[in-house]
Amino acid sequence: MTRGTTERYGFVLINDFALMSMASSVDPLRSANQMSGRQLYDYVFLSAQGGPVRASCGAWFDTIALAASPPDLDYLFIVAGGNPFALDIPDCTGFLRQAARRGVPLGGISGGVVLLARAGLLDRRRIAVHWEYADSLRELAPDLLIEQRLFVLDRDRATCAGGVAGLDMMHALIRSQHGHALADSVSRRFIYTTIRTPDAAQRGSVETEARLLPAVFAATRLMEDHIADPLPLGQLARLSGLSSRQMQRQFRRDLGVSVMDHYSAIRLDKADELLRQTRLPIGQVAYATGYSSQSNFSRAFLRRFGMNPSERRTAATVPG
């Protein structure tokens, strides 16, 4: 196995964490290394004091103390289960806040999402959380942008409902970094042949197959995963396995629009949802959907919906 640029991920394990949630998030990284023949990912298990940490099923995992954590983490996840609202973990909370100040991207898995929210580290980010925690989390923090999704990648935050949704989230991260071919191969290795879209239902069954050319479907998934930080056409094409010209041609054939027009529609539809369902200021809605200029956002919104963002907000009934 050759070494090149290696991403190092840290997983903070809280006692009684759900093993399935952790395994479905970690094992795809191991498989990506094995299938690519390269050390794409390194990962380390952490806890407040180090030593063995118990999963809810009774299995034990050796961990490194937070104080001895590698200083060069590229992503830091926290994994918890049980009742995360009752946990008192000041050491872990302080560690997460320090990492955020250094600019380390943070992720929450299952109850870990609640712990990030309680630490004030999910403000003005779109998030996913397990349906069992959603109502209590809304009561705790009414302004959180909670979405009924399996996972959400929003700039420097990744949140996942837990269970096998960790595999869906890691598929998206691997796809964003190394392309859909490797991500799909990893999923097939786990006999997970139908990767779910992020907005698939947490409860009940939904149809997730798209009747599109696989590369076009992969590109639309990348767009949905990168709303706040839009990818350029060339990167979308490369990660989807096509040239830019081929992608433009396939999008016009399958969807009847250009690549970037479809991408803009996805971002503006999310902006419309945020305007109608949250109290997030319009400037922050623009930022959360990839617009650095509020005036550019307002013009694009007007073209799509026939009204400006202020008019949409006025016409909507916002809860709370």
Local confidence band at 202 (pLDDT 50, 70, 90 cut-offs): low
Q: Does domain 210-320 match CATH 3.40.50.1000?
A: no
Distances in whole angstroms, Cα of residue 51 to Cα of each of 61, 73, 76, 125? 8, 20, 19, 33
Local confidence band at 4 (pLDDT 50, 70, 90 cut-offs): low
Dist CA 103 CA 159 (whole Å) = 17
The average pLDDT across 22-38 equals: 96
Q: What are phi and psi of 280, to 5 degrees?
A: -60, 130
The pTM of the full predicted model, rounded to 2 decimals, is 0.76
- The CATH classification of domain 7-169, taken from the options 3.20.20.80, 1.10.10.10, 1.10.645.10, 3.40.50.880: 3.40.50.880
pLDDT of residue 143: 87
**Residue 4 is encoded by which pair of tokens?**
């090149």
The average pLDDT across 243-272 equals: 93
pLDDT of residue 214: 85
Q: Is the pLDDT of residue 3 over 50?
A: no
**Residue 295 is encoded by which pair of tokens?**
């005036």
Helix (H, G, I), strand (E, B) or coil at 135: helix
pLDDT of residue 135: 85
Q: Is the pLDDT of residue 210 over 90?
A: no
Helix (H, G, I), strand (E, B) or coil at 245: helix
Say which range, 7-16, 50-59, 272-281, has the weakest mean pLDDT: 272-281
pLDDT of residue 74: 96
Dist CA 197 CA 169 (whole Å) = 10
| Conformational region of residue 152, where left means phi above 0, alpha means psi within -120 to 50, and beta covers everything else | beta
pLDDT of residue 280: 86
The average pLDDT across 38-42 equals: 96
pLDDT of residue 199: 62
The average pLDDT across 166-185 equals: 93
- 7-169 and 210-320 agree in CATH topology: no
Mean of per-residue pLDDT scores for the chain = 90
The average pLDDT across 30-37 equals: 95
pLDDT of residue 148: 84
Cβ–Cβ under 8 Å, residues 8 and 44: yes
Local confidence band at 205 (pLDDT 50, 70, 90 cut-offs): very low
**Residue 256 is encoded by which pair of tokens?**
């009847």
Boundaries of every domain in the chain: 7-169, 210-320
pLDDT of residue 55: 96
**Residue 94 is encoded by which pair of tokens?**
């302080």
In tens, the pLDDT along 88-134 reads: 999 999 999 999 999 999 999 999 999 999 999 999 899 999 988 99
Q: Is the pLDDT of residue 1 over 70?
A: no
Dist CA 217 CA 223 (whole Å) = 10
